Structure 1
Amino acid sequence: MSIKSTAAKLFAYKIYFQTRAWAMKPEETQAQVFQSLIRSATNTEFGKDHYFDQIKSVEDFRKQVPIRDYEDFKSYIEKIRLGEKDILWKGKPLYFAKTSGTTSGAKYIPLTKESMPFHIEASRNAILHYIHETGNADFVDGKMIFLQGSPILTEKNGIKFGRLSGIAAHFVPQYLQQNRLPSWETNCIEDWETKIDTIVAETIDQNMTLISGIPSWVQMYFERLQQNSGGKKIAEIFKNFQLFIYGGVNFEPYRAKFENLIGRKMDSVEVFPASEGFFAYQDTQTEKGMLLLLNSGIFYEFIKADSFFEENPERIGVGEVALGVNYAMIISTNAGLWGYNIGDTVQFTSLKPHRIIVSGRIKHFISAFGEHVIGNEVENAMKLAMDGTDVRINEFTVAPQINPISGLPYHEWLIEFENEPADLEQFSQKIDDAMRQQNIYYDDLITGNILRKVVISKVVKNGFQDYMKSIGKLGGQNKIPRLANHREIADKLQIL
């Protein structure tokens, strides 16, 4: 065992017990975070506009700070971009993380000197929890790859702009620099396909032990590795590959394809980062869900998803949530976001400690007939249909077909198969059965002959990649929406 792996185990032991200390006191921890946030922002423009000096409780805060999305923060953001100080948070942010909004165009999310360290600590602690639980630390001696955006930043009015993953590249600890791939020069390549090919060339003969990225793009990297190695499995190319870290999407629909590409099962750690904050990571291999980070400068509120669009939906804290309920997650942060709707929905899988799964997007659903199908349901249905089969998929999305040429309306599942089912009709029946078991409204529509069962449309090989390329979102942190209440994506996929 090397000095580095021994040190990693000792550090992991320390971090585990530090984490446990706050995780087992969730309400107390969140109360401290709340008080610190209000105190720090009282003299900002936002704090003055919302009378932070009069806020004595969470109830006061909820009365004075309504739920907002990015559009509602734009006027404050623009003032910061023009160089003004003390707007949403004290001073100026260090960075603006630029993201691609689906309705708002480009979004600029502030990152401050108080918020940025938590992004880095959470990434580190996810790995350390894995080491503490499994005792596996050998991978720290090998090479690690993080598929991410370009670290090239621009600057205006004293604030740097870039993609979150590119900003984070500037904070990689010194002790990891010599282990980290790809090279800085390769990370700076903007064209994704050129970048992937260059990454393959740089890594194919290296001792890769840890690989991290969004599953769909890591899959693309693995496929290129196979093409350049004469069809070898990833485990043959990287004999010491031990850990896959992913976030952004549910991994289960990809797992069978990954295991086939790799050639064996693989330990994995799920993380939940976003430009607005690093919210959770998988802290154990034996329990479902990710540990919600309650001490990371973020105050959390939750609204039941089925009441989110009501005029004054109830906002609750971590002490009032229940298991298995679909909640919209609302955050207030030490980067200056207040009562901010991140757009994701979560469900709690544990309350001691608080663990969550990401169940979907509050605006990504299908309810063309009142069924309100969410992302977690379609992903579970796909997993159940694939269980016990040799079916493998590359990608899929779901959309309603309201006006079919003939017959009843239906939900269309657009699937790019790597290995097709022997009986497509039977496979679609399994999906439909799983959907009916999970969603009583969908079941009622099928029973009442309002909808017919799901229809599967096969997408040509690389169809999803071609679609993402056609809209300028190939690679990086971009991902296909799992479902939509419209046919914009579905119709474009069918003509590629």
Structure 2
Amino acid sequence: MAILGHIIKGAIQLADNITSKPNHIEAQQNVLKDLLNTASKTQFGKYYKFDELLQSKTLAIDFAQSIPYHDYNDMQNKWWKKNHEGEHNVTWPGSPSYFALSSGTTGKESKRIPVTNDMISAIRGSGIKQVLSLNNFEVSANFFEKEIMMLGSSTDLTERKDHKLEGEISGISANNIPFWFRPYYKPGDDIAKIDSWDKRVKQIAEQAKNWDIGALSGIPSWIELMLEKVIAHHNVKNIHDIWPNLQVYTSGGVAFGPYEKSFKALMGKPVTVIDTYLASEGYIATQVRPGTDAMQLNTDQGIYFEFVPFKPEYIKPDGSLVADAPSITIADVQLNQDYVLVISTVSGAWRYLIGDTIEFANIEEAEIKITGRTKFFLNTVGSQLSVNKMDDAMRHLEDKFDAKIKEYTISATKDDENEFYHTWYLGSLLNEKDTIIAEALDEFLKQANKNYKVARGKSLKGVKVNVVKPEVFHNWSAHNKKKGGQVKMERVMGEEKFKEWEAFVIETTT
């Protein structure tokens, strides 16, 4: 009998029973006040007169009117660069403990996002919330005695000249796990520090039978590739032949939906999938209950959220916001509306554009779904395709053709006659002709998106599909020196990047 597991599960149930249901509006009001109070004596706080703001009876409104939107370049060039020059109390008291290298999508130069001790504490608090929410899911008592495989970036952080450490947020988080958790943490410190993703996974595969894994955590594409390596190394049918007690997978980084079919193919029995939203800027949201794939915003853990309706008149070509784009608080959000997510945090990000768009699935529960990136909405000739609609299209193709599509990317291209097409690359072993797949994809999107249907009747000439092996996408990541960790494939590529991609595909597949 799992005695320790029963004790831990009982403690979680008790904690859940005595914890009151959160009031997300009040929580956000308190977070905003705390942020302004704490940062009032910083250079940023003095410049924007936080002390005066705190006297306001309409704090959220005056905060939004007083402080402009910032993207990374704004924060970096005007403020955060001072941290690198040794200045203190810039946008948050003291000096950041770490800098998170934001891997973003392949081919991009890494950003350096400050991570303070307060943010580490906030991430830990959100992690505890995630653990407590397991009481809502069907997991057995023995689960709480099993080990957890956290497949992120290397924990061997780089020391800068100013003695600050930098690495991806998953590596920073793994470096700060509580001492009591370390006996459960796999692959363990030695393997987690290996910089090469391929070498790290090779070590995981070789050691896999020595571990009793109950949970997995990581980005779906890299988790799948790791599982495939483990299965192949031990010549078994599925991962449960190696880890029979695997019960939970916490997915992050991207929507799990497009990977669901291929992920299940690696399993021997059902696994509970829990979506999470951990970005370089903080732990944004986590799924807290079954029956939905929406995630609850972490409204009481050091992040203040604002929401800008995602409308063409508010968005610049580079994905940033026009200065007078209106924002609203969590008190005024609506269903069936895409919002640009804006955050202010305990790491000194202020009215910061994280680059994601979301929609609310349940307002009372503050539950959201990621709908895309501000730069990744494909709006050529008015098609207005969001990533979630693209994901839905991939699931439709999987069902229609009984296949798995592990990755995809898309770009708006022109033919020799200057006609616009949507050109797709699918990472799959699909055997159907590309033209047949294109027709099915086109018909689905016409039904799913009225703007796309209108565009197809006007300036959007058609759809082109190219099926390549899934490893082409993995090799592209490696080619850009961004394999594993928090790396996500670009779903929508601009013209120049797409030319590089197509040249790479031709070079590596012919």
Q: What TM-score do the two structures reach when normalised by structure 1?
A: 0.93
Per the alignment, do residues 174 and 314 of structure 1 end up closer, same or farther by CA in structure 2, a change over 3 Å counting?
A: same
Q: CA deviation at 1:50?
A: 0.8
CA RMSD in angstroms comes to: 2.2
Please list the CA deviations of residues 140-170 of structure 1 after superposition, one character each: whole Å capped at 9, or x if unmatched: 2122110111222315435332221111112
Give SS of 2:300's match. coil
- Aligned residue number for residue 252 of structure 1: 257
Contact map agreement 2:86 2:162 (CA 8 A) in 1:
yes
5+ unaligned residues in a row in structure 2: which ranges?
316-321
Residue aligned with 2:21, SS: helix
Helix, strand or coil at the partner of 2:226: helix
| C-alpha deviation, 1:52, in angstroms | 0.9
Deviations 1:272-322 (A, max 9, x none): 001211010010111240011110111100001114324411110001111
Q: Secondary structure, in 3 states, of the residue corresponding to 2:152?
A: coil
Match in the other structure for 1:9: 9
Establish whether residue 80 from structure 1 lines up as the match of residue 86 from structure 2: no
- For the 8 Å contact 1:150–1:166, the answer to whether it is kept is yes
Match of 1:455 in 2: 464
The aligned counterpart of 1:412 is: 423
Q: 1:99 to 1:248 in 2, by over 3 A?
A: same
Contact 1:98 1:163 survives alignment (8 Å): yes
Deviation at 1:35, TM superposition (A): 0.9
The CA distance in 1 between the partners of 2:306 and 2:385, in whole Å, is 23
- Counterpart of 2:238, as a letter, is K
- 1:429 equivalent among 427, 439, 454: 439
Q: Which residue is 1:197 aligned to?
A: 202
Counterpart residue identity of residue 301, structure 1: E
* Structure 2 CA distance for aligned equivalents of residues 356 and 51 of structure 1: 32
CA contact (8 A) 2:344 2:352 kept: yes
How many residues in Structure 1 have an aligned counterpart in Structure 2?
491
Residue 331 of structure 2 aligns to a residue whose secondary structure is: helix
Q: How does 1:35-434 map to 2 (within 5 A)?
A: 35-55=33-53, 56=56, 57-74=59-76, 75-100=78-103, 105-153=109-157, 154-157=159-162, 159-306=164-311, 307-309=313-315, 310-387=322-399, 389-402=401-414, 404-405=415-416, 408-418=419-429, 420=430, 422=432, 425-434=435-444
Identity percentage of aligned residues: 27
Please give the alpha-carbon distance, in whole angstroms, between the structure 2 residues aligned to 1:253 and 1:170: 30
Q: CA deviation digits over 1:74-133, x for unaligned, max 9?
A: 132121122211111111222221223669833221222222112123223223312343
Counterparts of 1:461 and 1:244, CA distance in 2: 22
Instruction: Compute the displacement of 1:6 (Å).
Output: 2.1
The Cα shift of 1:431 comes to 2.0
What CA distance in whole angstroms lies between the structure 2 residues aligned with 1:245 and 1:354? 19
CA distance in 2, matches of 1:101, 1:180: 25
Give yes or no for contact 2:259–2:405 (8 Å, CA) kept in 1.
yes
Instruction: Call closer, same or farther: CA 1:385–1:302 in 2, change over 3 Å.
Output: same
State the secondary structure of the residue aligned to 1:58. Answer: helix
* Correspondence for 2:454 among 420, 440, 444: 444
Indicate conservation of the 8 Å contact 2:103/2:486, yes or no.
no
Residue by residue over 1:186-221, the C-alpha shift from the partner in whole angstroms, topping out at 9 and shown as x without a partner, is 111111111111111121342222111111101111
Q: Displacement, 1:54?
A: 1.3
Deviates more, 1:484-493 or 1:433-442: 484-493
For structure 1, which segment, 437-446 or 382-391, has the greater mean C-alpha deviation from structure 2 after superposition? Answer: 382-391
Give unmatched runs, 5+ long, in structure 1. none
In structure 1, C-alpha distance between the alignment counterparts of 2:463 and 2:18, rounded to whole Å: 48
- Structure 2 distance, partners of 1:407, 1:101, is 32
CA gap 1:395/1:18 in 2 versus in 1, 3 angstroms:
farther
Structure-2 change in CA distance of 1:34 and 1:176 (3 Å): same
How far apart are the structure 2 equivalents of 1:389 and 1:7? Answer: 47
Distance in 2 of aligned mates of 1:18 and 1:216: 38
Secondary structure in structure 2 of the residue aligned to 1:114:
helix
Taking structure 2 as the reference length, what is the TM-score of the superposition?
0.91
Distance 1:77 1:423, change over 3 A: same
For residues 121 and 421 of structure 1, do their structure 2 counterparts lie closer, same or farther at Cα, with a shift above 3 Å needed?
farther
